[in-house]
Amino acid sequence: MFGVVKSTVIDGVEFEDETESIVVSVRPRKGAKQRCGMCQRRCPRYHHGEGRRRWRGPDLGLLRSFLEADAPRVTCGEHGVVVASVPWARHGARHTRVFEDTIAWMATRTYLLKEQLREVFALKGEQGKQLLDRWLSWARRRRIPAFVHLAQRIARHREAIDATPDHRLSNGLVESTNTKIRLLTRMAFGFKSPEAMIALAMLNLGGCCPPLPRPSRRVNRPTEPAGEPFSGRSS
Ligand SMILES: [Zn+2]
């Protein structure tokens, strides 16, 4: 809890009103003190640091949690003056190890869920639908709010979604056309009438290529030899 790990002593726990967080005062145990943040070797103390420092820990429901401790510096024979190592966080990190590991674990799970969902729509017929069934039960069990919500939406629109593996139908073209029309509207800084927007959309996306008036191209003729206009001039 709070991202506290072994080799850590808890000195106190407080609720901070202004940030609505739980702040846990900690310090490294004796054996974990005065170690180089980079190589973990025991080193002489250099400076007591610049006051208390905080590391964000895992949330507790709606509350954020922080570990708070001094951040003294030590002199390492190899790395020079560095911030001393703390058992609850990696060197230079602003979050606790537990927080970082949780995020990394969630990112892996999220990536796998996303990749498998892509696979569902790459497969055809029954195979795609069976994989979607497995994906839905997997996503619900993972308890990642975004995927649980997505799984609920997929379940709601399941009949329409099954059309993709069944008939290879997709609304991709409609969605892409909508996006391009929104882009045209932005590029034109708006239109005074819907007709003007429809005309430009048809011209741009309708597949018609009527000949358009263009400014006449200026032909660059080779420059005449200097003095030519005045050729009649007596030399
Ligand atoms: Zn070192």
Encode pLDDT of 114-168 as tens digits. 888 888 878 777 888 888 888 888 888 777 777 788 888 888 888 888 877 777 7
Encode pLDDT of 63-74 as tens digits. 899 999 999 999
Count Cβ neighbours within 10 Å for each residue of 155-192 and write b for 16 or more, e otherwise.
eeeeeebeebbeeeeeeeeeeeeeeebeebeeeeeeee
Encode pLDDT of 79-97 as tens digits. 999 999 999 999 999 999 9
Measured in Å, residue 2 CA sits from the centre of ligand 1 at: 28
Q: What are the CA-CA distances from residue 37 to residues 25, 54, 89, 90, 134 (Å)?
A: 20, 16, 10, 8, 45
pLDDT at 233 over 50: no
Encode pLDDT of 18-31 as tens digits. 888 999 999 999 88
Instruction: Please give the average per-residue pLDDT across 95-104, as a whole number.
Output: 90
Residue whose tokens read 């990112």: 107
Question: Both 178 and 159 in a single domain?
Answer: no
Number of domains in the chain: 3
Measured in Å, residue 29 CA sits from the centre of ligand 1 at: 19
Phi-psi region at 189: left, alpha or beta (left = phi > 0; alpha = psi -120 to 50): left
Residue 162 lies in a domain: yes
Residue 1 lies in a domain: no
Measured in Å, residue 36 CA sits from the centre of ligand 1 at: 5
Measured in Å, residue 72 CA sits from the centre of ligand 1 at: 14
Structure tokens at 152: 């609920």
Residue 233 lies in a domain: no
Measured in Å, residue 45 CA sits from the centre of ligand 1 at: 12
Residue 38 lies in a domain: yes
Measured in Å, residue 27 CA sits from the centre of ligand 1 at: 20
Question: What pLDDT shows up at residue 141?
Answer: 79
pTM to 2 decimal places: 0.56
Measured in Å, residue 192 CA sits from the centre of ligand 1 at: 68
Distance separating alpha carbons of residues 126 and 134, to the nearest angstrom: 12
Measured in Å, residue 225 CA sits from the centre of ligand 1 at: 78
Distance separating alpha carbons of residues 177 and 201, to the nearest angstrom: 9
Question: Both 82 and 157 in a single domain?
Answer: no
pLDDT at 235 over 50: no
Question: What pLDDT shows up at residue 221?
Answer: 59
Question: What pLDDT shows up at residue 220?
Answer: 60
Structural contact between residues 177 and 152, judged by C-beta atoms closer than 8 angstroms: no
Range(s) of the domain holding residue 182: 172-205
Measured in Å, residue 83 CA sits from the centre of ligand 1 at: 10
Encode pLDDT of 167-225 as tens digits. 777 777 888 889 999 998 888 888 888 888 888 888 888 877 777 777 776 656 555 55
Measured in Å, residue 43 CA sits from the centre of ligand 1 at: 8
Residue 130 lies in a domain: yes
Residue whose tokens read 């708006």: 190
Question: Both 14 and 49 in a single domain?
Answer: yes
Distance separating alpha carbons of residues 2 and 54, to the nearest angstrom: 12
Question: Both 140 and 179 in a single domain?
Answer: no
Question: Both 18 and 89 in a single domain?
Answer: yes
Last residue of a domain, which of 67, 95, 123?
A: 95
